[in-house]
Amino acid sequence: MKKYNVAVLGATGAVGREMLKVLAERNFPINTLKCLASPRSVGSKINFAGQELTVELACDEAFEGMDIVLGAVDNKYAKQFAPAIKAAGAVFVDNSSAFRLCDDVPLVIPEINPEDALKNNGIIANPNCSTIIALVAVNAIKELSPIKTIVASTYQAVSGAGAEGLIELENQAKAYVNGGEMVKNVFPYQIAFNLIPQIGGFGENGYTSEEMKMQNEGRKILHLPELKVNCTCVRVPVMRSHSISIALTTERSISVEEAKAAIASAKGCKLVDDPETKAYPMPLDTSDQDLVYVGRIRRDLTNEEFGLTLWCCGDQVRKGAATNAVQIAELLTK
């Protein structure tokens, strides 16, 4: 089997470390592996599959000889390093939003549109975490009939804001119990025992940048340019794994039983739907694994002929980011 020279850009962050973990778990065919990060992390050590790797400086020269670069950095650095990655002849699988809506950059969820990955010009974009989880959940229904509309509400864990989000929730929970001060650095308001109905900046239409990703990215991934999505994104005091409520309409009427059967056999999904035994997806059950759990499938009472409603949960650090990126890389090896 051919082996590949792989670099993880942003290897010391939460998503970068998860990418390394997933590469090892999935036994990715690696020849050499570079861990790249900013100057403050250079020289630190990262464990990979029992080996101790030394973090190197992320610079243009670091990509020479690489075949695949997994990006776990923000838009600024993704744009900065993309030309050097392409010039080195590597394919850049980028987790930022910098290139997602560029016409010449495929936006890929391997369970949905794997063929798009092979049409790359040196960059493949990893979609937004909530977009990945929601679309994996509904793709089986889309295969039965094109989806016309989606109304979604996301309940996004604090880890979506990085490791600092986890620390802030934990510290606030401890402060609440001990009567201490609620220190806010990551989120604009106290997140412990609270909900914050804003993720991203507000646009002129009143929707946040995070909310518009579901429609804009969904259209591209599903190849449904007329898809209409209404989304509300909420930060919730959950450590890990995003939850999403979805109401959708299809061109033809899909029965609840038909939808359940399709989702049960869909790639990347696990049907967890038994009201009698109180079986439904929850963040605690879906953390630190790669399947999207789907349940609470029922008719939409506002559109009983063409509407369905469901609830799904998925680990946004893994399937919503790191695992999806590694799966894209795997497509390139095949």
Q: Quick count: other Cβ atoms within 10 Å of Cβ 39?
A: 9
| Domain residue spans of the chain | 4-126+321-333, 131-316
We find that the CATH architecture of domain 4-126+321-333 is: 3-Layer(aba) Sandwich (3.40)
Give the residue-averaged pLDDT of 127-144.
98
Give the residue-averaged pLDDT of 121-136.
98
Q: What is the pLDDT of residue 184?
A: 96
Alpha-carbon radius of gyration of the chain? 20
For 123, phi and psi rounded to 5 degrees?
A: -135, 135
Q: How far apart are CA 236 and CA 83, in angstroms?
A: 37
Taking 90 as the threshold, does the pLDDT of residue 191 lie above it?
yes
For β-strands 242-250 and 307-314, DSSP reports them as antiparallel
pLDDT digits (tens, 9 = 90+) for 263-313: 999 999 999 999 999 999 999 999 999 999 999 999 999 999 999 999 999
What is the reported pTM?
A: 0.97
Enumerate the active-site residues.
129, 242
- For 285-333, give the DSSP string: HHTTS-PEEEEEEEE-TTSTTTEEEEEEEE-TTIIIIIHHHHHHHHHHH
Taking the CA atoms of 216, 322, 186 and 181 in sequence, report the sign of the dihedral they define.
positive
129 pLDDT band, cuts 50/70/90, is very high
Q: Is the domain defined by 131-316 classed in CATH 3.40.50.1970? A: no
Give the residue-averaged pLDDT of 305-326.
98
Q: What is the pLDDT of residue 284?
A: 98
Q: What is the pLDDT of residue 1?
A: 81
Q: What is the pLDDT of residue 167?
A: 96
231 pLDDT band, cuts 50/70/90, is very high
Q: What is the pLDDT of residue 23?
A: 98
Tokens of 47: 């464990």
